[in-house]
Structure 1
């Protein structure tokens, strides 16, 4: 699933698998939650919303049962590391 990086409230990335109808959200604390049986209209509204955090809280978090999943580890690279080795 391709993830779209965003910065909205606690959301840091969102992704959707249309074939399986699964929405995945990654939060700023590093956790990830997947929601099953999410329609494409919900995904379209979330990904196009100017207030994705509010839309998520009002229309996804409260309406769908989420399952915590392992977040993909993304290496945090500090550009100054090479200077101070």
Structure 2
């Protein structure tokens, strides 16, 4: 589910790269949550229990460049 994580301490933002959907950026995330994610036996379970729907989230703005365009 999760392929990579990174934390910006100055901005309190957590970046999570998902295998299927790419990078999402979570705001106002405490350092302890990032540390817990890194140490968790199951990153996916920790994400679902402690991060998902608990912090403001936005997709990586660079990700839009690679989305398929539909015409119709």
Q: Tell me the TM-score normalized by structure 2.
A: 0.79
Question: Which runs of structure 1 show a deviation greater than 4 angstroms over 4 or more consecutive aligned residues?
Answer: none
RMSD, matched Cα: 1.1
More helix by share: 2
Structure 2 unpaired stretches of 5+? 64-72
Q: Which has the larger radius of gyration?
A: 1
Structure with larger RCO (C-alpha < 8 A, sep 6+): 2
What is the match of residue 37 of structure 2?
46
Structure 1 unpaired stretches of 5+? 1-9, 72-85
Q: Tell me the TM-score normalized by structure 1.
A: 0.68
